[in-house]
Structure 1
Amino acid sequence: MAFGKEDLDLVLVPSGLLIMFLYHIILLYRYLHLPHTTVIGFENNDKRAWVERIMQVDKRDIGTVLSVISSNTSAATFLCSVSLTLSSLIGPWLGSSSSHEVFTSELIYGNVNPSILKIKYISLLTCLLLAFACFVQSARHFVHANYLISTPDSNIPASYVELAVIRGGDFWSLGLRALYFALTLLLWFFGPIPMFMSSLFLVIFLHYMDTNTRPLHDHQLQGRQLVKKVGQRITEVAVKIHQHTETVETTV
């Protein structure tokens, strides 16, 4: 049985997806165990230092802080809208006879079977909806961080704000990765060869963008800020001890 152009999809498309999945699995391992070698880990180190500093700022001077959080929220909301808009265009595009004729013509070097075309549409729609969900979660965590920072007269630990900010950034990265996958699947409509080549190029590009070679900066606190931080920690411990004492007395 001869190997025809219809069989290219069975070889190149899974190979391209496998290359991208393997790269992101390796990136996930580096992020969890060797975060200093990734740009995401490098940025998270700066975010932790930023959160520690802003939690020491007087509540009357947090306008700049909230504007930073708001800009991240706006960016996540914008990409969320873009992903949802692109997802909504899949239906009319699927029902359009002109697009169906283009992607099933002889100009496409690959399998132009209508069932394969439906798989392409579903795969692209899945990636766009996944990107939409990730950007929604990113905006949600940034909004939560906004609430924590702007709460008046509170002793909220900096770790709570840090967790919200870092999770917002993580979901932002996941949303971008879903859009990257959607881009390669979009090129699949023009044949398995463009899809496979775009997967290789994207992995090379992402490896360059995700790799960090600079050492993590050690953000040292100034003396006065360090004293203030210690005072806040003492206050937090005192509050916890007081709450524990009340609980014990109530139990007795």
Structure 2
Amino acid sequence: MGMSILDYVLVPLGLGLMVAYHVWLLYMVMRHPTKTVIGINSINRRAWVHTMMEDPSKNGILAVQTLRNNIMSSTLLASTAITLCSLVGMLMTQSSPSSSLTLVVNQKHFSLKSFLILSCFLVAFLMNIQSVRFYNHASILINARRSPLLTPEYVADVVNRASYFWSVGLRAFYFSFPLFLWIFGAVPMFLCCVGLVCMLRLLDVMFHGMVAAEEADEFVGDGRGERALSSSQMPS
């Protein structure tokens, strides 16, 4: 079917809802990290890196194994994304030409939807490849000897960047779900966007305080983590 009035209303509304939610989530992660799962995990990863680098000879194997598990997770998502890219590309190229104007218009709409789905999978692939890259760097740096150019804060930043790329890649998969349902109509697509936003809010927002905000803020981003660690007040 061609584009209907519902496509012009519900599709931008659904995508706008998804984008608005992630803009809000980014604001919360940057301004109030202890109220989000992503922020708390980032703080705890920073504390984990400091713990691993206190005694590399003792904790080195554990650190590398943990990072290797993360590399395998990112590799699996990257492989899945590039496989789905190939399948979508095949569907787009195997469409048979037609002289009917209606069929040509419908084919253009199908190609547009397929291209948007393909874009999501390409973004997921690229983000997970970058995640593997940073995890590989971290697996070397975390066992290196201390130097003025190598601090636990720097290694923690590398690990967190890898995790952020992994998260963005996973969000690209989430965006592909409503775009796929758009093939069956604008209403399923919009309902999928609403359902995804509700589900993601339950997964992203920290409803129970696990870390005191004033303690956790000392580990966020601007070098204050070392001062907090020196006073042995690390989050559990």
Q: Same fold (TM over 0.5)?
A: yes
Paired with 1:95 and 1:159, the residues of 2 have a C-alpha distance of 48
- Amino acid in the other structure paired with 2:180: L
Q: How many residues align?
A: 209
How large is the RMSD of aligned CA atoms in angstroms? 2.5
- Amino acid in the other structure paired with 1:198: C
Q: C-alpha offsets along residues 88-146 of structure 1, whole Å, 9 cap, x if unaligned?
A: 11121223459x9xxx99xxxxxx72221111011011111001111011111111101
- Amino acid in the other structure paired with 2:110: L
Q: C-alpha offsets along residues 155-207 of structure 1, whole Å, 9 cap, x if unaligned?
A: 32101110011111111110111000011111111111111100000000001
How far the C-alpha of 1:154 sits from its partner, in A, is: 3.6
- Amino acid in the other structure paired with 2:88: I
Aligned to 1:66: 64
Aligned to 1:146: 139
Paired with 1:14 and 1:90, the residues of 2 have a C-alpha distance of 22
- Amino acid in the other structure paired with 1:141: F
Detail structure 1 runs of 4+ shifted over 6 Å in the superposition. Answer: none
Q: C-alpha offsets along residues 50-107 of structure 1, whole Å, 9 cap, x if unaligned?
A: 0110010232541111100000011001100100110011121223459x9xxx99xx
Paired with 1:133 and 1:195, the residues of 2 have a C-alpha distance of 25
- 1:25 paired with 2:23, answer yes
| Equivalent pair of 1:187/1:194 in contact (CA under 8 Å) | yes
Paired with 2:201 and 2:140, the residues of 1 have a C-alpha distance of 35
Aligned to 1:84: 82
Aligned to 2:51: 53
Paired with 2:193 and 2:84, the residues of 1 have a C-alpha distance of 21
Distance 1:25 1:159, change over 3 A: same
Which of 135, 142, 162 is equivalent to 1:168? 162
Distance 1:49 1:61, change over 3 A: closer
Which of 101, 110, 115 is equivalent to 1:122? 115
- 1:157 paired with 2:151, answer yes
**Aligned to 1:212, what secondary structure does the other structure show?**
coil
For structure 2, the 5+ residue unaligned runs are: 217-225, 231-236
| Equivalent pair of 1:76/1:172 in contact (CA under 8 Å) | yes
Matches within 5 A, 1:178-217: 178-217=172-211
Paired with 2:89 and 2:79, the residues of 1 have a C-alpha distance of 17
Identity %: 37
Paired with 1:64 and 1:196, the residues of 2 have a C-alpha distance of 44
Which of the pair has more CA radius of gyration?
A: 1
- Amino acid in the other structure paired with 2:165: F
